[in-house]
Amino acid sequence: LWLLGLRALRVGQPLADPVLFVANHSSWIAIELLHSQRAVCFVAKAEIAGWPLVGWLAASGGTIFHRRGNNYSLAAVMLVMVARLRAGRSVAVFPEGGSGYNGVLKVFHARIFQAALDAEVPVQPVALRFARGGRRVVDVCFREDESFVANLLRLLGEPPMDAEVHFLPVVPVSPDGRRRMADQARERIAEALADQPA
């Protein structure tokens, strides 16, 4: 984070283990950013395992790698998530299923919330927000057709900015409403991402 000119700032407090953290997928830096504030196991796309340095860091931190679009992989990931949560470890997921462009917050996939229900642990939304002078910077994400190396080099050339980690109020558990839990988590994160009036 320091090499990229990012200053990590925590807003709010993370819950004690075990908890399912759900965060917006703002950038490939999201794992390192959240890890700077709270040690957790992550669920991330399998391709990250092959990325230089980032892949090694992710694997060393206990990341659970998922092959997107593969239902067998998702079922296996869910079993590992539940096992880790029941063992008292916290897990963090990006329910958007991938990072978007231009700071757009995509729809949250509800199925991933089942792990919290099965393990009987709370769900805490986390908003990851990049800012300069309090104003949100959305150009940290990948640009369309931008490679990891190109994004990294572009970020190295940017002026310093704040990397905010907002730990938000817990989403009420709803056994019959994973979709409702996903929507509430997304709403809370969207509110935290917005620039607040001065």
Q: Give pLDDT tens digits for 106-130.
A: 889 898 899 999 999 999 999 999 9
Q: What angle do CA 104, 107, 111 make, to 5 degrees?
A: 145
Q: How many residues would you count in the chain?
A: 198
More confident residue, 12 or 34: 12
Residue type (1 letter), 130: F
Taking 80 as the threshold, does the pLDDT of residue 1 lie above it?
Answer: yes
The CB density around residue 33, as the number of other CB atoms within 10 Å, is: 22
What pTM did the predictor assign? Answer: 0.86
Residue type (1 letter), 85: L
Query: Residue 136: pLDDT band by 50, 70, 90 thresholds?
Result: confident
Residue type (1 letter), 175: P
Query: Exposed e or buried b for every residue in 155-180, given b needs 16+ CB within 10 A?
Result: beeeeebebbbbbbeebeeeeeebee
More confident residue, 40 or 22: 22
